[in-house]
């Protein structure tokens, strides 16, 4: 069985490629390299540079590589960017996913995993959030993902496509063996930006909003280690291959950390007391998002191996330092 990993040159997709390789699976990657890097794809894995919205190309890849399952990570991911340019997010995340789903159905692909997000819930109506909580995104990013979830549900009924929708909470950290991490130069994620600041690559860190209704006024998120997340996907593919029903599952640990707590963890791990500036709220940010992970545990038998904020931060710092070292060596 060959697994097509879209977005496999990106942060989470590259960890999925490693997890599949570690499990002895055949993999092909499609990525347009808009934010991903060619070097993130291991040399032994074929990389087709192209857009998932190109239905003809996707059909050809499915045929050429005998693709039986797709793990669809490709997409645009920055919440405030989606508020500023919603049409672009509906194009890249919704319209282009439609083309990929159409090619999957036409090409006889049996299983489909989709990278969805906690952003489909909007402002949390309860905590922790179960999959049955109301779906009411407060950003175009969340809405663009929810539309794709809906397309998959309808395609499942109409064409018998088996799917797993994985709603990620905040993904962070790097491969414990140092093979991959978050490399994109324009990354905006809190832990990545804090690690860069600790290493002196940025002068300060902005703390976006300190007046949220949370324990210390800053936003709370459920940070999940990227390798735990990738392993959940491998389990999900096996689950569907065993003939199980399609499913939707939250991916998180069930515990939240505030922005201030994350900053403290990065300062602790790095030993650097970098400057933090109070900044206005960022558009599209819900106050708190914490997962109820009961369903993914029960459905896939998934257990966290890296549920420790300090360890997550340490792996992100180690990856950031290795990127800096590689840049120095190349200069």
Ligand X SMILES: NC(=O)c1ccc[n+]([C@@H]2O[C@H](COP(=O)([O-])OP(=O)(O)OC[C@H]3O[C@@H](n4cnc5c(N)ncnc54)[C@H](O)[C@@H]3O)[C@@H](O)[C@H]2O)c1
Q: Which residues are catalytic?
A: 141
* 9 binds ligand X, rule: CB under 6 A: yes
* 52 binds ligand X, rule: CB under 6 A: yes
Rg of the chain on CA atoms, in Å: 19
Which 170-199 residues touch ligand X, going by CB under 6 A?
170-171, 184
Candidate list 89, 90, 121, 168; residue touching ligand X; CB under 6 A: 168
Strands 257-258 and 47-49: unpaired
Measured between alpha carbons, how far is 253 from 306 in angstroms, rounded to an integer?
10
Measured between alpha carbons, how far is 274 from 199 in angstroms, rounded to an integer?
9
* 117 binds ligand UPG, rule: CB under 6 A: yes
**Residue 197 contacts by C-beta under 8 Å, 6 or more apart in sequence?**
203, 204, 205, 266, 274, 275
Which 68-97 residues touch ligand UPG, going by CB under 6 A?
77, 79
* 92 binds ligand X, rule: CB under 6 A: yes
* 219 binds ligand UPG, rule: CB under 6 A: yes
Q: Which stretch binds ligand X (CB under 6 A): 10-18, 205-213, 271-279, 285-293?
A: 10-18
* 126 binds ligand UPG, rule: CB under 6 A: no
* 207 binds ligand UPG, rule: CB under 6 A: yes
DSSP letter assigned to residue 172: E
In the numeric block, which tokens belong to residue 77?
């991911």
Q: What is the DSSP annotation of 278-320? A: EEPPPTT--SEE-B--HHHHHHH----S---HHHHHHHHHHHH
CB 153, CB 292: distance < 8 Å: no
* 236 binds ligand X, rule: CB under 6 A: no
Q: How far is CA 50 from CA 156, 252, 282, in A?
A: 26, 31, 32
Q: Which stretch binds ligand X (CB under 6 A): 164-172, 268-276, 293-301, 308-316?
A: 164-172
* 170 binds ligand UPG, rule: CB under 6 A: yes
Candidate list 23, 33, 57, 264; residue touching ligand X; CB under 6 A: 33
Measured between alpha carbons, how far is 249 from 150 in angstroms, rounded to an integer?
14
* Residue 73, binding choice from ligand X, ligand UPG, none, Cβ under 5 to 8 Å by partner class: ligand X
- Give the shortest CB-190-to-ligand UPG separation in angstroms: 4
Residue with Cβ nearer ligand X (95 or 241): 95
- Using DSSP's 3-state secondary structure scheme, residue 212 falls into coil
CB 21, CB 45: distance < 8 Å: yes
Q: Which residues bind ligand UPG (CB under 6 A)?
A: 77, 79, 117-119, 168-170, 188-190, 193, 205-208, 219, 221, 259, 282, 285, 289
């Amino acid at each position: 069985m060959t697994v097509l990993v879209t977005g496999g040159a990106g942060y989470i997709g590259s960890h999925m490629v490693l997890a599949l390789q570690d499990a002895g699976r055949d993999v092909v990657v499609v990525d347009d390299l808009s934010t991903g890097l060619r070097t993130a794809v291991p040399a032994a894995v074929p990389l087709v540079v192209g857009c998932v919205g190109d239905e003809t190309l996707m059909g050809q890849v499915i045929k050429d590589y005998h693709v039986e399952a797709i793990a669809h990570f490709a997409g645009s991911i920055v919440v405030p960017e989606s508020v500023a340019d919603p049409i672009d997010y509906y194009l890249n995340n919704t319209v282009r996913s439609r083309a990929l789903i159409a090619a999957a159905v036409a090409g006889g692909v049996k299983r489909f995993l989709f990278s969805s997000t906690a952003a489909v819930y909007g402002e949390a109506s309860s905590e922790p959030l179960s999959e049955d909580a109301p779906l009411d995104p407060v950003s175009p990013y969340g809405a663009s993902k929810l539309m794709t979830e809906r397309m998959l549900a309808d395609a499942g009924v109409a064409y018998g496509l088996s799917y797993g929708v994985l709603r990620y909470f905040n993904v962070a950290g790097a491969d414990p063996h140092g093979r991959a991490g978050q490399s994109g130069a324009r990354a905006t994620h809190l832990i990545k930006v804090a690690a860069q600041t600790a290493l002196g690559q940025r002068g300060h860190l902005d703390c976006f909003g300190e007046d949220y209704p949370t324990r210390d006024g800053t936003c709370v998120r459920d940070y999940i280690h990227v390798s735990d997340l990738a392993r959940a996907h491998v389990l999900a593919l096996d689950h569907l291959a065993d003939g199980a029903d399609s499913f939707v599952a939250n991916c998180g640990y069930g515990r939240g950390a505030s922005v201030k707590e994350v900053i403290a963890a990065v300062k602790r791990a790095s030993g650097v007391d970098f400057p933090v500036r109070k900044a206005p709220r960022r558009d599209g940010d819900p106050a708190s998002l914490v997962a109820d992970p009961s369903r993914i545990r029960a459905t896939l038998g998934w257990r966290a191996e890296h549920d420790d904020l300090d360890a997550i931060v340490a792996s992100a710092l180690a990856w950031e330092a290795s990127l800096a070292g590689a840049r120095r060596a190349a200069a």
